[in-house]
Amino acid sequence: MRWSVPLVSVVVFTVACSAGTKADVTKADGVPPGTALRTAATASAKPLGHALTGTLVERIAVSPYVYLRLTTATGDLWVAVLDAPLTVGARVTVYNALLMEQFESKTLKRTFDRIYFGSLDAPGALPTEMAGTGTATGAAPSAAGATPAVVAAPVAPVAKATGADARTIAELWTQKDRLANAVVSVRGTVVKYNAAVMGKNWLHLQDGSGDATKGTHDLTVTTMDVVSVGATVTITGTVHLNRDVGAGYTFALLVEDAKVMPK
């Protein structure tokens, strides 16, 4: 299915699930969205293979997600994305749609016979929930070796973490080739945070080092820990280069599965 809405770009919780799998991606009943996403992602997928386009005829918001019924050339379809300002009557395009059958939403107390999960972001465009807001060179990487999205939020210099594995963000970019798959510690200020995207929490970290024009002042990190924008934290995680996170998106430098400690 395709969902595209002018000027709207949202990352969808891309999930893969086999027929008969029942999961709920809402926060209802105390189930965090990321839990359902990780569970669904372990099942077999039924990829549509092509984008789908339709007219939005019904919208059910279940924060932080939204269920959409689209009228397409082949009939009505249900889709789900992270909440976005979509209005009835809009033409919507969904990319990289994945089919789930017998999907049960406990919050809505209903089971969808067939529903697609996909992205409002066209392949090759960085999902906005993971990307920064800046426009510097490399702000929208889509190929191996591209620089990360730049978050335009300059921060005051932050003291470097301690220990043999400690690096500033500038050092991490400079030494990234020899640090591939190594565990590093970085202290910085959280300038952007998005929870439960693709089953992980995503944050952008800056420490006052690096070159904003080259994107080397900003570090993208995934974690299961919860943080808040503006907090100074120390993260310890594994360096991955040219990391393909699915849906056509690749990060030149990504620190994954990080543990986050205050200060």
**Token code pair at residue 198:** 């693709």
H or E element in which residue 173 lies: helix 169-174
What does the pLDDT average to over 58-71? 84
In angstroms, rounded to a whole number, what is the distance separating the alpha carbons of residues 198 and 20?
21
pLDDT at 95: 73
Q: Omega into 85 within 30° of 0, i.e. cis?
A: no
With H, G, I as helix, E, B as strand and everything else as coil, classify residue 41.
helix
Instruction: Categorize the per-residue pLDDT at 154 as very low, low, confident or very high, splitting at 50, 70 and 90.
Output: low
Q: Is residue 69 part of a domain?
A: yes
The string of pLDDT tens digits covering residues 8-44 is 333 333 333 333 334 444 444 333 333 333 333 333 3
Find the largest Cα–Cα distance for the chain.
59
Q: 133 and 254, same structural domain?
A: yes
Give the structural domain span for 108.
28-119
pLDDT at 186: 98
Beta strands in 83-231 (DSSP E): 91-105, 110-119, 183-197, 200-206, 219-223
**Token code pair at residue 61:** 């918001």
Contacts of 127 (CB under 8 A, 6+ apart): 9, 10, 11, 119, 121, 197, 247, 249
Sequence length of the chain is 263
Higher pLDDT, 47 or 90: 90
pLDDT at 230: 87
| Amino acid letter, residue 78 | W
Q: Which of 75, 96, 119 is the last residue of a domain?
A: 119
Number of domains in the chain: 2
Q: 169 and 195, same structural domain?
A: yes
pLDDT at 235: 98
Q: Is residue 94 part of a domain?
A: yes
H or E element in which residue 257 lies: strand 249-262
Sign (positive or negative) of CA dihedral 180, 181, 185, 188? positive
Q: Is residue 134 part of a domain?
A: yes
Instruction: Categorize the per-residue pLDDT at 121 as very low, low, confident or very high, splitting at 50, 70 and 90.
Output: low
The string of pLDDT tens digits covering residues 200-214 is 888 999 999 998 878
Please state which of the ranges 68-72, 123-127, 201-205, 207-211 shows the lowest mean pLDDT.
123-127
Q: Which of 119, 136, 154 is the last residue of a domain?
A: 119
**Residue 246 reports pLDDT greater than 80:** no
Q: 208 and 138, same structural domain?
A: yes
6-20, 73-87, 211-225: range with highest mean pLDDT = 211-225
Q: 102 and 52, same structural domain?
A: yes
Q: 137 and 253, same structural domain?
A: yes
Q: Which long-range CB contacts under 8 A does 36-39 form with residues at least 24 apart? A: 37/13, 37/196, 37/198, 37/199, 38/199
CATH of the domain at 93: 2.40.50
